[in-house]
């Protein structure tokens, strides 16, 4: 069940990150989900490092770090994906 939860959270974080980033992103949905999953892991690590990983109630600070990490990873990942896709089109 843990892997299913990770996919759902990654999907939501990835899609929200795509909506926040200005312009059009070219990465497919499955890759955006993976980027969102990575953002959740990185955001959890940052929150744990700052001592705010577990609070009473809703962990707004942890979710904030997850979203910021997802935005950064989706943005950078899409840049790499777009550059790689452009090179493939030039070679064809």
pLDDT tens digit string along 33-90?
Answer: 999 999 999 998 998 999 887 778 888 888 899 999 999 999 999 999 998 876 666 6
Cα–Cα separations (whole angstroms), residue 84 to 26, 70, 77: 11, 20, 11
Question: Rounded to whole angstroms, how far apart are CA atoms 25 and 35?
Answer: 13
pLDDT at residue 58, rounded to an integer? 81
pTM for the predicted model, two decimal places: 0.86
38's CB contacts (< 8 A; 6+ apart) are 10, 69, 70, 73
Contact yes or no for 11/35 (Cβ under 8 A): no
Residue given tokens 């896709």 in the structure block = 85
Q: Write out the H or E segment, with its range, that includes residue 4.
A: helix 2-20
């Amino acid at each position: 069940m843990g892997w299913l939860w990770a996919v759902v959270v990654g999907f939501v974080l990835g899609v929200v990150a795509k909506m926040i980033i200005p312009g059009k992103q070219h990465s497919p949905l499955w890759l955006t989900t993976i980027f969102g999953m990575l953002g959740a892991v990185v955001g959890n690590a940052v929150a744990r490092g700052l001592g705010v990983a577990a609070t009473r109630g809703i962990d707004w600070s942890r979710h904030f770090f997850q979203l910021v990490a997802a935005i950064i990873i989706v943005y950078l990942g899409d840049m790499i994906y777009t550059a790689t896709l452009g090179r493939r089109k030039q070679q064809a």
